[in-house]
Amino acid sequence: MAGSALKRLMAEYRQLTLNPPEGIIAGPVSEENFFEWECLITGPDDTCFGNGVFPAKIAFPTDYPLSPPKMQFLCELFHPNIYPDGRVCISILHTPGDDPTGYESSAERWSPVQSVEKILLSVVSMLAEPNDESAANVNAAKMWREDRKQFEQIADRLVRKTLGLPLTATS
Amino acid sequence: MASHESQMPSQENSDQDDSDVDDDNFDYYGEDQFEVAMYENRDDRPAGTSYRNADADPIDPEYFEYSCLQICDVERLLNECVEALCHAIPVTPALAKVLLHNHKWDVASLIRRYKLNCHLLLVETHIKPPKPVAPSSTGQRFTSCPVCVRSNLAYSELRGLACGDQFCRSCWVMHCASQLAQGASTAIECMEAKCSLLCPEDFVLKLLGDRPDLRAKYQHFVFQDHVKSHPELRFCPGADCPTVIRSKSLQAKRAVCKTCSTSFCFRCGIDYHAPTACATIKRWMIKCADDSETANYISAHTKDCPNCHACIEKNGGCNHMQCAKCKHHFCWMCFGDWKTHGSEYYECSRYKENPTVAQEAVHVKARRALEKYLHYYERFENHSKSLKLEEELRGKIKQKIDDKVNNHQGTWIDWQYLHDAATLLTKCRYTLQYTYPYAYYMEPGPRKELFEYQQAQLEKEIEELSWKVERAETTDRGDLENQMNVAEKKRLTLLQDFFDK
């Protein structure tokens, strides 16, 4: 099983290197182990996460691509669909069977023809448009719904933190 | 006895006509449930024998017709449906199974819908793609598998469903294996992201041709899924019991598995709970699971004297309490004055709503709500404990009967009524236990009053019966049998009035 997973991951790595999507860099942590990847995602422009550069790691199972990988941000992020420890909760990382709440029935699910590139593009659009129906971070979902201004301030502060800039805007 | 023995050889010889034979035996089983209990450990009835409820009277509110099937009987039943459908409409058996599984095994409605609009039916059942596949997509383009990204594959290596999405055989096998590991069988879908076509049985079995372990697992899971999707079939909830119970009516009535003797509600699969409805008992069980620890603590410790409010701990079995401080006599269960308990003792099984409750402060309301719950919970639990104790009593009675028969003090038939009495006591108390959740969720009103009246009557007769059964040695047989009749009548009356299946 691991043999075909490795082959598929190498093919995806080659594809991402030759033809990288805008704002995304991804690849294995070391070429010794293709099942642990690191990636950098830039926040989508014109959103409160704009200009941010967010590091994350992706862990692949040995039966990839039949089972989806797991993704976790390595920086602090305040977002309805990201757990406080950085794990990402998004429909494309779930197999059709494992959604007991039925929230994501219409959304895109994991299937063996999905890929790292598609996951990362989905994560970028998730940053721009949170899904507050199935919240991983309830506080963030509540604030996003009820107090957008404060939510944007927190996001801006975290963006500055990842970039190593002063925490408040200098005007 | 004689009639039973004469039936035996014909039963053993006729595996095919077992249901007919059972109809002949019907009165026998109906009249005498103790005989059933005696023979339940003997495998003397052939597989698939119809096994009726103890009470054969169709007016009996608990009367329920069902049968216990073995795996081979169920397979035959399901295959008959598949054959009937294949015969009526042009589909393969594997596709017929997909159709039946997704439409509650209703052959007639499937045929009707197929004739009305076969395309719509096949699309809705995820057999055909909603849009026809472009012919070009099945040509030379597919020489690589999008899952394992191997290229230059021979066309014979590729497999796909009606959607036209093609993947290599080894990826399909791994896909099925990984889906099986997650418990999916009838729900295995095409690997393409936006395609939800279901893989029919023949497709999967062909892929798993050289993996006998996975094949067996797949077939086992498919069978389970099929039974679960069939409205007339239920797996027996007993541990590791392979029996399937079949009934044409989906009612909340008691089914007893003839293999493992597990008794359960046919509709929801948990312990039988008449007269309480399935949804109500579910709420009650959740509530008990949440609150029972608190309830145990409170009921075990704090009770205040209704007169002087001194805190009293119960140190004996008697419910007639006398406060050590003010010498007030009261009932431990209902806090009423003990004076009223002489003539109308069973008044205390009735819960009285306090009419001024709305005007009271929130914490008093909460206390009242808890008290109300505790009132019913304690009685529910108390009867549950009594049932366990009376189960022991039943064993003792059986032992006693054996001793008597061995000492030539009459035949077994002479003493059988004792055992019947204990069995009936269990049955009545079981119903009584489940009247408490029913009463807890009832709205106050005349209907609740009627219910509680009947409940009190039942409780009174059952306690009387229990007393007489425990002292069966000294009780007159006629008196005991009379008490049995009265208790059972009260039980049936309550069920007839309040048990909505």
Angle subtended at Cα B497 by Cα B492 and Cα B499, rounded to the nearest 5 degrees:
80
Query: How many Cα atoms within 13 Å fall on the side-chain side of residue A6?
Result: 7
Q: Which helix (H) or strand (E) holds B416?
A: helix B412-433
Asked if the Cβ–Cβ distance from B149 to A111 is below 8 Å, we say no
Question: Which residue from A40, A44, A21, A58 is spatially nearest to A124, judged by alpha carbons?
Answer: A44
Catalytic hit among A39, A48, A75, A89: A89
Tokens 């029919």 map to which residue?
B200
Segment B210-239, tens digit of pLDDT: 889 999 999 999 999 999 899 999 999 988
Cα B433 from Cα B377, distance rounded (Å): 10
Residue to substitute from A1, A4, A6, interface B, most B β-carbons within 10 A? A4
CB-CB neighbours of A8 under 10 Å: 24
Q: pTM for the whole thing?
A: 0.67
Q: With an 8 Å Cβ cutoff, are A96 and B189 in contact?
A: yes
Q: Which residues of A touch B191 (CB under 8 A)?
A: 111-113
Give the tens place of pLDDT for each residue, B329-378. 777 777 777 776 655 555 566 666 554 444 445 556 666 777 888 889 88
What domains does chain B contain, in order, with CATH numbers?
A: 93-229 (3.30.40.10), 305-355 (no CATH), 375-498 (1.20.120.1750)
Residue pair B86/B96 in contact by the 8 Å Cβ criterion? yes
Q: Which two tokens stand for residue B150?
A: 């191997």
Cβ neighbours for B391, distance < 8 A, ≥ 6 positions apart:
B426
Are residues A52 and A163 in contact, defined by beta-carbon separation less than 8 angstroms? yes
Residue A64 main-chain phi, psi, to 5 deg: -55, 140
Residue A40, C-beta contacts closer than 8 angstroms, at least 6 positions apart: A24, A25, A26, A53, A54, A55, A56
Token pair of B454, please? 């009947």
Query: Which chain A residues are within 8 Å of B166, Cβ to Cβ?
Result: none
**pLDDT score, position B310:** 62
Complex-level ipTM:
0.73
Residue A42: strand, helix, or coil? strand
Q: Do B193 and A111 touch (CB under 8 A)?
A: yes
User: pLDDT tier at B132 (50, 70, 90 boundaries)?
Assistant: confident
Both tokens assigned to B406:
């061995």
Task: Please give the pLDDT value at position B331.
Answer: 75
Q: Does residue A36 register a pLDDT over 90? A: yes
Shortest CB distance from A63 goes to which of B174, B194, B196?
A: B174
CA distance A160 to A134: 27
Asked if A4 lies within 8 A of B171 by C-beta distance, the reply is: yes
SS (H, E, C) B291-310: HHHHHHHHHHCCEECCCCCC
Q: Nearest-CA distance from A152 to chain B in Å?
A: 34
CB B33 within 8 A of CB B58: no
- Interchain contact, A112 vs B175, CB within 8 Å: yes
Q: CB of B260 within 8 A of CB of B241?
A: yes
Neighbours of A79 (CB within 10 A): 25
Which chain B residue is nearest to residue A96, measuring alpha carbons? B189
State residue B200's pLDDT score. Answer: 93
What's the mean pLDDT in B397-419?
Answer: 86
Percentage above 90 pLDDT, chain B: 29
* pLDDT over 50 (residue B499): yes
Nearest CB to B193 within list A8, A98, A113: A113
Question: What is the greatest pairwise CA distance in chain A?
Answer: 56
